[in-house]
Amino acid sequence: MTRAQLVEQIRKKGSYLCVGLDPDLSKIPAHLLASPDPVFEFNKQIIDATHEYCVAYKPNLAFYEALGPKGWESLQKTIEYIPKDLFTIADAKRGDIGNTASLYAKAFFERMNFDSITVAPYMGEDSVKPFLEFKNKWVVLLVHTSNPGSADFQLLESKTGRKLYEEVILKSQQWGTPENMMYVVGATRADKIGEIRKLAPEHFFLVPGVGAQGGDLEEVSKMGMNKDCGLLVNSSRAIIYASSGRDFAEAAKRESQKLQLEMSKYLEQNGVT
């Protein structure tokens, strides 16, 4: 998907919501466990219930890989089921030497037809560039993550006086463009989103951490939105596990609609309509 197509979707739907598809067999409603593919059945009903209110889906690979070959099958079926006008993110957090990275890119962009993949930047340029060679596919680079441990390395000061995550943003802008690279910026530190926006005015940010991790949508939107929106805000557990009963899809619909309504207000306030 191109940047223009993504922005068009955001304007059309009045939403920059990304729904995280993190299906956990210990959490999905018990009545689904008897179906032949409970993970796909769960995702299918979540997608049916939420696709009007979001512009992206982000399956996190851990939840599928943990189930072995069956998990990969559920993932493949899920990606094929997502409507083609929605942006898809393989949350795989890959990062390896060039020839290996090329095969990761093939796996997710060609075999599975994802629009994008999350990538860790710390092995440097040759580990990221192979992902950028695919037309209309995106790298979503980890910059300032939402977890407590993000401070361990990302906030270290380099000899230039800048933090490591700032170096990542500045350096990586020599590799990719706002047309094929996004940055992961956790919602749990909205103040950082404002600082990062100054370093990368045009790029899209994937912002996880709203909902279960306590990030604030209003604050994130105020600090991070640019003229094209420039944000994809992810929520996983707060949407997909809004109810653990037979009404889980209805509950997911309610939660995603609530976020979409709030998002449409912020888009309007920022003139992104």
Binding footprint of ligand OMP on the chain (CB under 6 A): 20, 22, 60, 91, 118, 145-147, 184, 186, 208-209, 211-213, 234-238
Nearer to ligand OMP, 145 or 180 (CB): 145
Nearer to ligand OMP, 127 or 145 (CB): 145
Cα three-residue angle 108-206-56, rounded to 5 degrees? 60
258 part of the active site = no
- Give Cβ neighbours of residue 182 (< 8 Å, ≥ 6 apart): 116, 138, 139, 140, 141, 203, 204, 205, 206, 232
Residue 33 corresponds to which tokens in the numbers above? 């466990």
| Amino acid identity, position 176 | G
Taking the least distance from each CB to ligand OMP, the nearer of 45 and 234 is 234
Catalytic residue from among 12, 58, 77, 93: 93
Tell the smallest beta-carbon distance from residue 182 to ligand OMP (Å). Answer: 10
Residue closer to ligand OMP by CB (options 78, 145) is 145
Instruction: Determine contact, residues 83/51, Cβ cutoff 8 Å.
Output: yes
Task: Tell me how far, at minimum, the Cβ of 66 lies from ligand OMP, in Å.
Answer: 13
Q: How far is the CB of 235 from ligand OMP (least distance, A)?
A: 5
Distance between CA 128 and CA 212 in Å, rounded? 30
- Nearest residue to ligand OMP on Cβ basis: 145
Helix (H, G, I), strand (E, B) or coil at 236: coil
**Measured from the CB of residue 93, what is the shortest distance to ligand OMP in angstroms?**
6
Place of tokens 């207000």: 265
Q: Backbone phi, then psi, for 183, in 5-degree steps?
A: -120, 140
Which residues are marked as active site?
A: 93
